[in-house]
């Protein structure tokens, strides 16, 4: 599986459910999605079939009810989405992304401390 994930917003929503639940049925995913938005069962089914064809999920057909599990990790999806945002929206500038994110969202002291610690480790690794 490559780390280049070209997932649509709806596919990412399905992956979020699958990362939370682990192996699940289409009905499991549909019911979870329906809690937050109007989601049709057949739409969820079709999307999960497409995701199977793309290699994003794996379908176990050994039982009457098919079980799906994500083949894409949260980290792979985050990396792909972030790479796309940095290259298209921020013209390749990670610092502009960070400045924008910190300036536009309430960031806790714990998050700031974690960012500082990461930057210190990153700085040490590049010396």
Paired tokens of 116: 């500082």
How does pLDDT run across 38-90, given as a tens digit for each residue?
989 999 999 999 999 999 999 999 989 999 999 999 999 999 889 989 999 99
Exposure b/e, 39-58, CB count within 10 A at least 16 = b = beeeebeebbeebeeeebbe
Whether the predicted model's global pTM rises above the 0.85 cut: no
How does pLDDT run across 98-110, given as a tens digit for each residue?
889 888 888 889 9
Cα–Cα–Cα angle for 55, 29, 36, nearest 5°? 125
Residue pair 60/25 in contact (Cβ under 8 Å)? The answer is no
> If one looks up domain 9-70 in CATH, what number appears?
1.10.10.10
């Amino acid at each position: 599986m490559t780390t280049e994930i070209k997932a649509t917003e709806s596919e990412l929503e399905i992956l979020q459910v699958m990362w939370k639940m682990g192996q699940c049925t289409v009905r499991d995913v549909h019911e979870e999605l329906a809690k937050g938005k109007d989601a049709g069962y057949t739409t969820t089914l079709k999307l999960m079939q497409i995701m199977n064809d793309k290699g994003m999920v794996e379908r176990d057909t050994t039982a009457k009810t098919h079980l799906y599990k994500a083949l894409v990790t949260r980290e792979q999806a985050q990396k792909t989405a972030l790479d796309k945002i940095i290259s298209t929206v921020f013209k390749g500038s990670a610092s502009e992304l960070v400045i924008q994110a910190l300036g536009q969202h309430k960031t806790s002291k714990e998050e700031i401390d974690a960012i500082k610690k990461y930057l210190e480790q990153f700085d040490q690794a590049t010396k």
